[in-house]
């Protein structure tokens, strides 16, 4: 054995054998310098494999000791500054000592092998070589990725067992660490025996793969190419002895079903569906649908319950702390709690909170959930026009899913949550069905213990759910649905209530959101009242909260910019923060006028006052109605005129006045639509005043429906109307006698300093509306 000092090139994941020609890229600077050094002296290098391929700077201990001495045949400089070298292995070598500087050098002992003459009479070696050649020939034929002719010729031409082993090892598709083990086996015969053993293992794998492919092809028709891959996977799993993945899924679902404690009907349905699933192939689309259905059923709550609050006083405290006023709502919730605690059953009717926007209907529902200790789920119904949104889609449809009710229960994960059905008056119907009709079963205590969702197809118990609905206008809720609910009216807030809500809730809340302390933004007494009257016109407090939020934002800007350390908002500087007033204060007329009467109306935003004007002129008996009046209001005007015509002699009017006099009724703010019958007596009074010349009191407002015989019928929204009248300084309000119960329900703080006149006929209306010293009678 001879020793040479050679440059070393560390290899990552590559094993080079003697007599093997191979090319590979070289990127490390040290390896490039080793190549340059080798080319100065015959081009010989020592190729050593790394133990860890991820190591970018290998040291002596990071390299194997047995490698291959090779000759560099060619160095290629490729585009992108990439270097490739072609080398040919010469012989094995063993490193004796290494020196690491700019590159690695090593003293290498060349390992010589016996010549062919030494094996000429070795029958065992000859037989081993023939066996290896035959096995490798089959390996090449089965492994389609290998170049067959050149590789086989190189192997057949080998004269010694060691050379045959090296040639075969170079052509095998095996791990680099196994190839390194072959390289380190110095005994040629043992090396060939080890290679034959590995070759036999690889052949078994290739034969099995070929068998699998043949079996799969035999099960397929020519048109089933896509199915081929699935069958191949199945056969592979069978050969490997793996448990079928679908069976593991089925077992997992069975365990979940047992742990879920399902009701009898649900349990049988799930068990039947799991049995169906077990007979399906895992790649079948129907299997995925079935699996999703089972998982959906098992994710629903069937017996789980929330521990509810049993302390009535604590519930009262929560409701009081969260909301100002709203006495009726709070009393109703406490009643529900008391009965529930006393009986342990939920027999209460469905509550529907009705009121204009911004009065706190949604936030009340949250407070009720806190007070009762239930989970809170909000479900918006606004704009829903498909029945399937409520009851779900049948599983026969692609992409079917359960309805919103069942999904809400899945989200709650308990059987007794509080579900808020928000904007129930905004439901619409279409060719897809009527969602309001689908809600009938949900909101009926006699039926919802067996609610049927089309997707679920299992009766589901909703009787323990506390449903609360909200609506702006109860009249738009379909009658059958409205009949299932207990309506609780939440009217608009008075100025005093708004001030209290702003000071106790909105102002502290917005200070916290803006990151301010109370001393950094102080509001002078009367500022909130100024904001209410000058910047908001609403029944609730939503716009008021936005204005307070704007004040806080402007305050934060001034403090951060260093202009002020604290902000003091007064009535005088309020416009600096909120801009000019948006609404000028509405006031009653300065004096009694002819043909001008103050009416009261209800809108979705609360109560408003309407100044109804009537004028007469010579003409042909036409009646002109302007001011965006709706059909009902126009009909009220015609009913009022019929009353006047039938009683023209009592008003000292010409019997033919309707033939030669035109009457024009106008309600200002013509861009705002107006409708409803409650302006009937107002329009009648205005016309009678215009026709007779009698003035109408400026401190009186009125509301009521009129008939052609002069009777006055009751109206709705009285509280909101009274609030609107009081805000502009009205002293006397004329209301229908049949509205007396509603008058009694109005809080004393609102009725203070107001006189209510109950009337049942137009005669009583006119006697109280006409100014002192005036008369409309003959």
DSSP code for 123: H
Model confidence at 112, pLDDT cuts 50, 70, 90, reads confident
Rounded to the nearest 10 degrees, how much is the dihedral formed by the CA atoms of 387, 388, 392, 398?
A: 160
- pLDDT, residue 242, reads 45
Given pLDDT bands bounded at 50, 70 and 90, which one contains residue 1?
A: low
Catalytic residue positions, numbered: 678, 721
N- to C-terminal Cα separation, the chain: 147
Superfamily of domain 312-489: P-loop containing nucleotide triphosphate hydrolases (3.40.50.300)
pLDDT of residue 765: 92
pLDDT at 226: 56
The residue with greater pLDDT, 214 or 314, is: 314
Residue identified by tokens 């290629």 is 76
> Scanning the structure block, which residue is given the tokens 């081929």?
228
Q: So what CATH class is 3-111? A: mainly beta
User: Contact 684/581 with Cβ under 8 angstroms?
Assistant: no
What pLDDT was estimated at residue 240?
Answer: 54
State mean pLDDT over 604-631.
85
Mean pLDDT of all residues belonging to the chain: 83
The domain spans of the chain are: 3-111, 116-214, 245-299, 312-489, 495-578, 593-769
Torsion 8-13-16-21 (CA) sign: negative
**Range 230-256 average pLDDT:** 67
- Residue 41 — very low, low, confident or very high, per pLDDT cuts 50/70/90? confident
- What is the reported pTM? 0.59
Report the DSSP pairing between strands 418-422 and 466-471.
parallel
Whether the predicted pLDDT of 236 surpasses 80:
no
Choice among 21-25, 222-226, 742-746 with the minimum mean pLDDT: 222-226
Alpha carbon distances (Å) from 166 to 122, 126, 198: 19, 16, 13
574 pLDDT band (50/70/90 cuts)? Answer: confident
pLDDT band at 359 (very low <50, low <70, confident <90, very high): confident
Residue 188 to residue 194: CA distance in whole angstroms: 10
Query: Can you name the residues that pair with 63 across neighbouring β-strands?
Result: 50
Take residue 776 and report the two structure tokens written for it: 């409309």
**Share in percent of the chain as helix, strand, coil (round to 5):** 45, 20, 35
Structure confidence at residue 683 (pLDDT): 93
Q: What's the pLDDT at 643? A: 92
Going by C-alpha positions, the residue among 604, 623, 730 that lies closest to residue 683 is: 623
Q: Can you give the pLDDT at residue 613?
A: 93
- Give the closest residue to 72 by CA, choosing from 49, 119, 39, 48: 39
Q: Choose from 111-125, 147-161, 587-601 the range with maximum mean pLDDT.
A: 587-601
- Answer yes or no: is pLDDT of 607 > 80: no
Q: What is the pLDDT of residues 72-87, one digit of tens each?
A: 988 888 877 788 888 8
User: What is the pLDDT at residue 199?
Assistant: 85
Asked if 365 and 470 touch (Cβ cutoff 8 Å), the reply is yes
Average pLDDT over residues 205-219: 77
Q: Beta strand pairing status for 466-471 and 350-354?
A: parallel
Closest to 615 measured CA to CA, from 581, 662, 575? 662
Query: Per-residue pLDDT for 14 more than 80?
Result: yes
User: Three-state SS for 66?
Assistant: strand
Third-level CATH fold of 495-578 = Helicase, Ruva Protein; domain 3 (1.10.8)
**Residue 243: its pLDDT value, please?**
47
pLDDT at 663: 92
pLDDT-wise least confident of 497-501, 594-598, 768-772 = 497-501
The CB-side HSE value for 561 (13 A sphere, CA atoms) comes to 8
* Alpha carbon distances (Å) from 560 to 475, 510, 551: 50, 17, 14
Q: Which residues contact 641 (CB under 8 A, 6 or more apart)?
A: 623, 658, 663, 687
Alpha helices by DSSP H, 279-326: 285-299, 312-322
pLDDT of residue 219: 60
Per-residue pLDDT reduced to its tens digit, 722-756? 888 888 888 899 999 999 998 888 888 888 889 99
Pick 116-214's CATH classification: 1.10.357.140, 3.20.140.10, 3.20.20.80, 1.20.58.1480. Answer: 1.20.58.1480
Q: How far apart are CA 287 and CA 279, in angstroms?
A: 9
The backbone torsions φ and ψ at residue 367, rounded to the nearest 5 degrees and listed phi first, read -65, -35
Q: Which two tokens stand for residue 65?
A: 């000791």
- d(CA 186, CA 94) in angstroms, rounded, equals 11
Residues 739/718, Cβ–Cβ less than 8 Å = yes
Beta bridge partners of 106: 6, 98
Query: Which tens digits make up the pLDDT trace of 653-704?
Result: 887 888 889 999 998 876 567 778 888 999 999 999 999 999 999 899 999 9
Mean predicted confidence (pLDDT) in 453-470: 88
* H/E stretch holding 192: helix 188-218
* Residue 220 clears pLDDT 70, i.e. is over it: no
Residues 204, 139: Cα–Cα separation, whole Å = 10
pLDDT higher than 80, residue 606: no
Residue 587 pLDDT > 60, yes or no? yes
Distance CA(24)–CA(84), nearest Å, equals: 6
Q: What 3-state DSSP class applies to 754?
A: coil
The answer to whether 440 touches 484, Cβ cutoff 8 Å, is yes
Tell how strand 732-736 and strand 661-666 pair up: unpaired
φ, ψ of residue 206 in degrees (nearest 5): -65, -40
Q: Which structure tokens are listed for 319?
A: 């409701």
**Res 756: pLDDT:** 94
CATH class of domain segment(s) 593-769: alpha beta
């Amino acid at each position: 054995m001879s020793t040479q000092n050679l440059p070393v090139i560390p290899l990552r994941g590559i094993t080079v054998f003697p007599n093997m020609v191979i090319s590979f890229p070289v990127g490390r600077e040290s390896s490039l310098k080793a190549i340059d050094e080798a080319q100065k002296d015959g081009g010989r290098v020592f190729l050593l494999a790394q133990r860890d391929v991820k190591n970018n700077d290998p040291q002596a201990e990071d390299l194997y000791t047995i490698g291959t001495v090779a000759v560099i045949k060619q160095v290629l400089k490729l585009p992108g500054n990439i270097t490739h070298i072609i080398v040919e292995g010469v012989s094995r070598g063993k490193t004796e000592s290494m020196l690491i500087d700019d590159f690695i050098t090593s003293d290498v002992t060349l390992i010589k092998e016996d010549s062919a003459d030494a094996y000429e009479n070795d029958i065992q070696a000859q037989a081993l070589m023939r066996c290896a050649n035959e096995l490798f020939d089959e390996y090449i034929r089965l492994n389609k990725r290998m170049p067959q002719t050149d590789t086989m010729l190189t192997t057949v031409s080998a004269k010694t067992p060691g050379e045959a082993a090296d040639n075969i090892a170079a052509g095998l598709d095996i791990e680099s660490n196994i190839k390194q083990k072959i390289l380190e086996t110095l005994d040629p015969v043992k090396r060939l025996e080890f290679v034959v053993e590995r070759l036999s293992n690889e052949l078994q794998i290739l034969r099995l793969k070929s068998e699998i492919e043949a079996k799969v092809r035999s099960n397929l028709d020519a048109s089933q190419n896509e199915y081929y891959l699935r069958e191949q996977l199945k056969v592979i799993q069978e050969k490997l002895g793996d448990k079928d993945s679908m069976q593991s899924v089925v077992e997992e679902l069975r365990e979940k079903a047992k742990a879920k404690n399902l009701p009898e009907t649900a349990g049988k349905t799930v068990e039947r569906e799991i049995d169906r699933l077990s007979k399906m192939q895992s790649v079948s689309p129907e299997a995925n649908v079935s699996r999703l259905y089972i998982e959906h059923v098992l994710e629903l709550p069937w017996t789980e319950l929330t521990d509810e609050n049993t302390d009535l006083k604590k519930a009262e405290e929560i409701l009081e702390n969260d909301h100002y006023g709203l006495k009726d709502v709070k009393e109703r919730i406490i009643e529900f709690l008391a009965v529930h605690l006393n009986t342990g059953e939920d027999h209460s009717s469905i509550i529907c909170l009705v009121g204009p926007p911004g009065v706190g209907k949604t936030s009340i529902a949250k407070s009720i959930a806190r007070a009762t200790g239930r989970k809170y789920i909000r479900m918006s119904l606004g704009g829903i026009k498909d029945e399937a949104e409520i009851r779900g889609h049948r599983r026969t449809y692609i992409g079917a899913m359960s309805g919103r009710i069942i999904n809400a229960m899945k989200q709650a994960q308990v059987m007794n949550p509080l579900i808020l059905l928000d904007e129930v008056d905004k439901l619409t119907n279409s060719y897809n069905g009527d969602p309001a009709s689908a809600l009938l079963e949900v909101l009926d205590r006699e039926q919802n213990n067996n609610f049927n969702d089309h997707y679920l197809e299992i009766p589901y118990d909703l009787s323990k759910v506390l449903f609360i609905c909200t609506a702006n206008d109860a009249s738009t809720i379909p009658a059958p649905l409205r009949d299932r609910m207990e309506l609780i009216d939440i009217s608009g807030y008075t100025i005093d209530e708004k001030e209290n809500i702003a000071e106790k809730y909105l102002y502290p809340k917005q200070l916290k959101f803006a990151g301010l302390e109370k001393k950094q933004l102080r509001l002078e007494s009367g500022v909130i009242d100024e904001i209410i009257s000058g910047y908001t016109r609403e029944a609730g407090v939503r716009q008021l909260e936005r204005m307070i939020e704007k004040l806080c934002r402007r305050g934060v800007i001034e403090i951060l910019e260093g202009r002020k350390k604290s902000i003091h908002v007064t009535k005088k500087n309020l416009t600096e923060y909120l801009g000019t007033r948006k609404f000028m204060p509405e006031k009653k007329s300065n004096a009694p006028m002819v043909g001008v009467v103050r009416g009261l109306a209800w809108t979705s935003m609360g109560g408003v006052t309407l100044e109804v004007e009537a004028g007469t002129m010579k003409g042909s008996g036409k009646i002109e109605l302007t001011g965006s009046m709706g059909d009902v209001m126009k009909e009220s005007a015609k009913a009022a005129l019929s009353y006047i015509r039938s009683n023209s002699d009592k008003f000292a009017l010409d019997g033919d006045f309707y033939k030669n006099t035109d009457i024009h009724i106008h309600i200002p703010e013509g861009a705002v639509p107006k409708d409803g019958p409650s302006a009937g007596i107002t329009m009648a009074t205005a016309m009678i005043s215009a026709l007779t010349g009698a003035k109408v009191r400026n401190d009186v407002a009125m509301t009521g429906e009129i008939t052609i015989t002069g009777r006055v019928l009751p109206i709705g929204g009285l509280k909101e109307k009274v609030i609107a009248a009081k805000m502009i300084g009205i002293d006397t309000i004329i209301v229908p006698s049949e509205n007396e119960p509603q008058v009694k329900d109005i809080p004393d703080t609102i009725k203070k300093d107001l006189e209510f006149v109950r009337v049942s006929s137009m005669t009583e209306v006119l006697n109280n509306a006409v100014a002192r010293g005036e008369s409309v009678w003959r």
